[in-house]
Structure 1
Amino acid sequence: MQTRHHTESAPLLQDTKSNWKVLWQLTRPHTLTAGFVPVLIGTALAIQNNHINGLLFIAMLLASLLIQAATNMFNEYYDFKRGLDNEESIGIGGAIVREGMAPKTVLRLALALYGIATLLGVYICMESSWWLAVIGLICMAIGYLYTGGPFPISSTPFGEIFAGFFMGFLIILISFFIQTGNVSTLSMLVAIPIGILVGLINLSNNIRDLDGDKENGRKTLAILIGRKNAVSLLGIMFGISYLWMIGLTATQTVSPWVLLVFLSVPKAVKATKGFIGKTVPIQMMPAMKATAQTNTIFGFLLSIGLFISYFI
């Protein structure tokens, strides 16, 4: 592919079809399920006791996906600005370094998605509670500060915690709250393993990028504890997620139907084994993909289990 110059006036692309493909890749679609799954689970929990407002569900789903996509675009923009991305970089959208999209265009697209998410948030608040406006703004701020600002969260050991809490755990609670008007103990307990799995997506990313991040002065968790320990931590946290569901079932907190999540175990095993002995980023892409797929499949199966327990 011919290299393009990164000028602020550079067009997106001449070919419309290619244009859309570049924009789609810019959202990093393999990560978008991290925005979809928590909304689905929060709604599945809410249906146990309430009629579901379909418009609120759709608004929450779109807002969550837009924030996730915008966060990925901020990542693309600021990593390029800091000189972290090049044409050989693995796991990026590549709109700037490969396709010649103007950096400011990427930033404006991210801000535009935030603008649409804000409008959806206003509707959600009108139909539920204006206290959600504060929480929503905090979530959006974290999405920006993850790679933006003078002290990006992604360069610290706390990236996994922030991602898991704000893009996993908290989204489930918000999705539950807008349908029910409250946050239950059950919703918090069920949200914990999803928060873990969303955080593990970040951990897998940091394991893959460990060498490059270290060269650029980052202090991610994977760098601090080392690659071998980071892979071990990945496997342990996968295990805790599944054991958590056994615990919820054993205490009759949830229906045994949620144990359908165990059908996703092969993906978790593949993700963990896929990192062992690997040091080249491209070799670790299947393992990183399997980590994201574990979250997706686990979340869908959990939702199915919750829906079945409601109808039976």
Structure 2
Amino acid sequence: MIKKFLKYVEITTKITSLFAYINTMLFMIYEKQPINTKLMAIFFIAMFLFDLTTTAINNYIDSKDYPEMLPIPRKSAFISIMVMLGISTVLGLYLAFNTGIIVLLLGGLCFLLGIFYTFGPIPISRIPLGEVISGVAYGMFIPFLMMYINNPSHYLALSLSFETINLSINVMPFISFFLFSLVTTFTTANIMLANNTCDIEKDTAVGRLTLAYYIGRKWAVRLYALLYYGTYVSVALMVICRFLHPIALIYFLSLPLVIKNIHTFRDAQIKEKTFITSIKNFIIINTCYGISILAAIIVSAVI
């Protein structure tokens, strides 16, 4: 039963949230930011459960007309969604209660995006914003929530009253966060872009008009490559701006492998054969990114 449940929630696809969490923790350690281990443990459980929930909702909805597609009974599938959603919601509210309205608002937005990604009259996955939203949700929302929960005043402050709304942003920490988040943002978005590029004809036939449909296969493949190259630009800028130690440039050692996979996808966009390049590049890039930040931590501690 456990194996069937793990298949239902597609446990092997949860690398996106795991890498976002691990690399953000490493970056916070490098920046010597305070880390509340209790809140980070709660955040991890809430994040991971909600990631499982969004996948479960997607599979539950897709199997509406064909219940046999589900590896577990449909009733059990629905109950598991409610349980995971309930637990992640309670944990999210606990985090918001302990940290403030920013976490409540941003966490609430994450919940809405996750639920309506495949649910509702016009699911997000069926419109051109799918790549952007999935990339930002994993690449920016997760890191920012983690950083903000541990060090709220370092990034921004929000005060609300019946008469005024005051928002102040600390520019340099925000730029540092933004550049850091681009690696996971771009690599996550490319997983969906590769999937939609492979399925343009199939998606169009069922009215699923994704970004790849609007920009065409040729430009979708170009964008696929540009997003990967953009991760190297972001790391270089972090070093230039002194947000990362120069040793982090070992990240560029991953470039030949990434280019090889880009060329493989450029030559043919076939779901069964070349979509895997987006997964391979995600793992290669984010693993090397984590290693480069870890190297920066070690060198900074020694010097």
Task: Output the CA distance in 1 between the equivalents of 2:212 and 2:284.
Answer: 20
> 1:208-267 CA distances to partner (integer Å, 9 max, x unpaired)?
332321221111111222223212211111001111211221232321132233243345
For the 8 Å contact 2:60–2:70, the answer to whether it is kept is no
Helix, strand or coil for the counterpart of 1:157? coil
- Could you tell me how far apart the structure 2 residues matched to 1:266 and 1:22 are? 38
Q: How does 1:100-249 map to 2 (within 5 A)?
A: 101-181=72-152, 182-183=154-155, 184-185=173-174, 186-249=176-239
- Count of residues paired in the alignment: 282
Assess if the C-alpha contact under 8 Å between 2:193 and 2:212 holds in 1. yes
Q: Answer yes or no: is the 8 Å Cα contact 1:198–1:295 preserved in 2.
A: no
Residue aligning to 1:43: 25
Equivalent residue number for residue 246 of structure 2: 256
Q: Distance in 1 between matches of 2:54 and 2:285?
A: 18
Alignment of 1:87-102 (within 5 A): 97-98=68-69, 101-102=72-73
Given that residues 93 and 104 in structure 2 are in contact (C-alpha distance below 8 angstroms), is that contact kept between their aligned partners in structure 1? Answer: yes
Do 2:232 and 2:252's aligned partners in 1 also have CA atoms closer than 8 Å? yes
In structure 2, do the counterparts of structure 1 residues 24 and 235 end up closer, same or farther at CA, with 3 Å as the change threshold? Answer: same
Query: Shift in Å at residue 268 of structure 1?
Result: 2.6
SS in 1 for 2:32: coil
Per-residue deviation, 1:197: 1.7
Which moved further from structure 2: 52-61 or 117-126? Answer: 117-126
Secondary structure of the 2:33 match is: coil
Provide the rounded CA distance (Å) in 1 between the counterparts of 2:278 and 2:185: 17
C-alpha distance in structure 1 between counterparts of 2:256 and 2:81, whole Å? 35
C-alpha separation in 1, matches of 2:213 and 2:186: 19
Give the Å deviation of 1:172.
0.6
1 CA distance for matches of 2:292 and 2:68? Answer: 38
Tell me, yes or no, if the aligned pair for 2:4 and 2:71 is still in contact at 8 Å: no
- Structure 2: gaps (5+ residues): 156-172
Selected match of 2:61 from 68, 78, 101: 78
In structure 2, distance between residues paired with 1:306 and 1:113 = 37
Q: CA-to-partner distance for each residue in 1:137-189, whole Å, 9 max, x for gaps?
A: 21011001111011101001100111111221111111111111232222222
TM-score (norm 2): 0.83
Looking at structure 2, the residues matched to 307 and 160 of structure 1 have their Cα atoms a distance apart, in angstroms, of 32
After superposition, give the CA deviation of every residue in 1:29-85 in whole Å (9 maximum; x if it has no partner).
Answer: 33212112222233333332333221222222222221211111122122233x6xx
Q: Residue 32 of structure 1: which of 3, 7, 14 is its match?
A: 14
Name the CA distance, whole Å, in 2 between partners of 1:232 and 1:272: 9
Instruction: Flag the 1:280–1:137 CA change in 2: closer, same or farther, 3 A.
Output: same
Q: Structure 1: where are the runs of 5+ without partners?
A: 1-18, 87-95
Between stretches 104-113 and 31-40, larger displacement belongs to 104-113
SS at match of 1:171: helix
SS in 2 for 1:227: helix
Distance 1:218 1:177 in 2: 36
Residues 196/31 of structure 1: CA separation in 2 closer, same or farther (3 Å cut): same
Identify if the C-alpha distance between structure 1 residues 276 and 49 changes in structure 2 by more than 3 Å, giving closer, same or farther. closer
User: 1:42 touches 1:175 (CA, 8 Å); kept in 2?
Assistant: yes
What is the RMSD computed on CA atoms of the aligned residues? 2.4
Which has the higher mean CA deviation after the structures are superposed, 302-311 or 155-164? 302-311
Q: Distance in 1 between matches of 2:58 and 2:257?
A: 26
Q: How far, CA to CA, are the matches of 2:142 and 2:283 in structure 1?
A: 19
- The alpha-carbon distance between structure 1 residues 263 and 32, as it changes in their structure 2 partners (threshold 3 A), is farther
How high is the sequence identity, in percent, across the aligned residues?
23
Q: Deviations over 1:269-297 (max 9, x none)?
A: 34323323335421234324314324542
User: Contact 1:197–1:238 at 8 Å: present in 2 too?
Assistant: yes
Contact persistence 1:154–1:220 (CA under 8 A): yes
CA–CA separation in structure 2 for the residues paired with 1:240 and 1:254: 17
